[in-house]
Structure 1
Amino acid sequence: MDIGNRLKTVRQQAQLSQRELAKRSGVTNGFISQVEKNQVSPSIGSLKKLLDGLPMSLAEFFADAAESSSPVVYRLDDQPELGSADISYRLIGSHFPGRAISLLRETMAPGADTGPDLLSHAGQECGVVIQGRLRLTVGEQEFELGPGDGYYFDSTQAHRFVSIGEQELVLISANSPPTF
């Protein structure tokens, strides 16, 4: 295991500089730099001290390292179903470490609707229709999209998705930060 690279990844995911982690853990930032460059190999005690500044246990550090070699391909069985009834949401990369976006394969039965209450959340959202027809409401605007058509909007705007027509709607969508 590349402890230096793993420490750097964990530190960056926590959005800490070497200097800030040094202050929190009671070591010098020079020591952290040497560890991250694999110039020195920390003792278990030193590594524990560094991880206490995150905070993270040794078990999490090594267990998450196994996850950091997450698969590149996520087969259908690896995509958790997050929807119900007439709307299916399949999340791609659900266990990817530090996941910064939600990528979904959405399937909506004809007539399915995200509901009368418009959705709204922080971030941005985009997608492309693969099959079927979509009525998309964003704010006061309403759009009809077909295969190949895409959308991109600020998710703080109230929005709603409705599957129109007689064919099942399939779309690929992404949002950041992840909502699923």
Structure 2
Amino acid sequence: MDLGTRLRFVRTAHNLSQRELAKRTGVTNSTISLIESEDMNPSIGTLKRILDGIPITLGEFFSLSEHQEDRFFYRAHELTQIGSGGLSFLQIGANLTGRSLQILREHYAPGSDTGSAPYAHQGEEGGIIISGRVEVTVGDQMTILGPGDAYYFDSRNPHRFRCISEEPCELISACTPPTF
């Protein structure tokens, strides 16, 4: 199922019109329409804002057809893909409903970011940079992190990530509760 079809399915399953969802999220009705018709590929930040209005996490959104299992081990090819374009988030486990921790392997193409507007959510998150360089903004603080550097913050602070290196940036992150 492509992203637009998925969004339409989730929105209608929750008995929401595009206008009602737009009111709840502050994302314009026309943007939601363009996403659903596959004429626009939203940033992760925009998609998260839309899904928060339903509410459904990004992980649940991208794993709609999969069911919760008692699994403890995952091969690389079994990680759930979240994101598109220059961002790729690989989530351990398909459906995190009822779980309190989310672990991601994040990949940022050179120049990619989580969106021009910082986003915030309940919880805490932390991570460690594996390769590349990423600019991390939390509230009014900004720094550049490279391999071996790490971050940890209260996710209620508005935050944004941007790859500033000429090579892709890879990092491993965890957040609680799951927000994607």
- The residue that corresponds to 1:38 in the other structure is none
Q: CA deviation at 1:149?
A: 0.4
- The residue that corresponds to 1:104 in the other structure is 104
Q: CA deviation at 1:78?
A: 1.7
Deviant stretches of 4+, over 4 Å: none
1:74 and 2:74 correspond: yes
- The residue that corresponds to 1:165 in the other structure is 165
Taking a change above 3 Å as real, the CA distance of residues 97 and 179 of structure 1, as seen in their structure-2 partners, is closer
Q: Distance in 1 between matches of 2:98 and 2:160?
A: 28
Q: What is the percent sequence identity of the aligned residues?
A: 46
The residue matched to 1:77 in structure 2 has which SS? helix
1:149 and 2:121 correspond: no
**Paired positions, count:** 114
Q: Distance in 2 between matches of 1:105 and 1:89?
A: 6
- The residue that corresponds to 1:92 in the other structure is 92
Q: Distance in 2 between matches of 1:90 and 1:135?
A: 20
Q: Aligned runs of 1:123-138 on 2, under 5 Å?
A: 123-138=123-138
Query: What amino acid is aligned across from residue 133 of structure 1 in structure 2?
Result: R
Query: What amino acid is aligned across from residue 112 of structure 1 in structure 2?
Result: S
Query: What amino acid is aligned across from residue 83 of structure 1 in structure 2?
Result: G
Query: What amino acid is aligned across from residue 155 of structure 2 in structure 1?
Result: S
1:119 and 2:119 correspond: yes
Unaligned runs of 5+ in 2: 1-66
Unaligned runs of 5+ in 1: 1-63
The residue matched to 1:81 in structure 2 has which SS? strand
For residues 96-151 of structure 1, what are the alpha-carbon distances to aligned partners after superposition, in whole Å with 9 as ceiling and x for unaligned? 67321110000000110111110100000100000000100000000110000000
The residue matched to 2:106 in structure 1 has which SS? strand
Q: Distance in 1 between matches of 2:126 and 2:118?
A: 16
Q: Distance in 2 between matches of 1:158 and 1:96?
A: 23
Q: Distance in 2 between matches of 1:110 and 1:100?
A: 31
